[in-house]
Chains A and B, each alone.
Chain A
Amino acid sequence: MKTNNLLLQSVTQVVTFLIFAFSIYLFFAGHNNPGGGFIGGLMTASALLLLYLAFDIQSIKKALAFNYVNIIAIGLIISLATGMVSMFLGGPFLNQYDQYVHVPLFGEVHLTTAVPFDLGIYLVVVAIALVIILAIGEDA
């Protein structure tokens, strides 16, 4: 029987971008609202999982040519480097700095070093979730 995924694929092409936008919102809302790197990473992973559900592993591998194992390493390096910057500046490990900066388009912005640390967590969560799912889902 020839099956047809047209409905699922059409819905996925729209919904994936909504989930991506929601995950990015959750990532940046984490400082003052519920959210953060962990749940944002899980939402991004679920958006990519929806792509894998609607299409197939080979097509998505061609479209998103990431090696997720390397992304885990990159995320860990970003988090550790953020923690070690404060050591070179004379503070203890994982000391955080924040500053109010005037950015032309956004106005007064509260920049913290917790954001790159969260970015590392985000990358690790996305990559680990997808590595687990693909390792189980990929048949030999």
Chain B
Amino acid sequence: MQDTQAAQDTATAAAQAAYETVFDAAVAADERIEPRDWMPDAYRASLVRQIAQHAHSEIIGMQPEANWITRAPSLRRKAILMAKVQDEAGHGLYLYSAAETLGTSRDELLDKLHAGRQKYSSIFNYPTLTWADVGAIGWLVDGAAITNQVPLCRCSYGPYARAMVRICKEESFHQRQGYEALLALSRGTEAQHAMAQDAVNRWWWPSLMMFGPPDDESAHSAQSMAWKIKRHSNDELRQRFVDIAVPQAEALGLTLPDPDLRWNEERGHYDFGPIDWAEFWDVLKGNGPCNEQRLDRRRQAHEDGAWVREAAAAYADKHTQQHKHGEARA
């Protein structure tokens, strides 16, 4: 009896090892892992964590921008902003669907977000205090997001990679519009220029923090890179972003709030000053300017909408049953 058990265990372990070999070979060959393929539990869990966090960021990220929809200063800007916030809801939908292919559900993930058990990007815990913040978010925050997300289009997990292709197209569009809004302010009246500069001063460092902790303090990085979920380290992507943003700031006629920022001929990159990691960890722990407000608002929307979702479910139940009865009679 015990022998049979032991034999079964050995067989299972052998099968497991065979699966792992196939998986590792697929990843090594840059093939896509698809929902029905075998994958290590930790790979699945890591993807759920990352995709959920990404989806939550889209949903929470609607708030700082929606904050200005009703006050947008021209009808054209208002239309652009509305379209952008709408796109973000759509991105959230894609990403929750991608996460669902891994065996979780949108409801489950939203419950975790509302309970504070899953995170979203720390950037959205900063407030939008002026109209220029909307432009700065488009330029810097979306710019950082794109730098992060373009490599994800080649991520080893197929559904996530495909979602990123669609999302990156729309994000690039938003980023251009944000840049253009900021350019209009920078070239506008003195007050508008000052508003733009102030927004960039406030959003620059938080944008650099979007790439996550430095490589030597990043808990998930090494494994994610081995699995080809991530393609580049946090610090590599952060450097890439700085290198792109500096000439853009010059073209905008705005300065970046970093006295240590300068071109390093030897490295072929911009050097930049130290990031305030204490602030980063503090915001991540829930102590940023808007953490409570963002989560409260999300929970409130969910609670206020409960009766609507219940009504839709009750209606669907009733009418599916009627439909079935109708079919039975026919």
Question: Do A and B form a real pair?
Answer: no
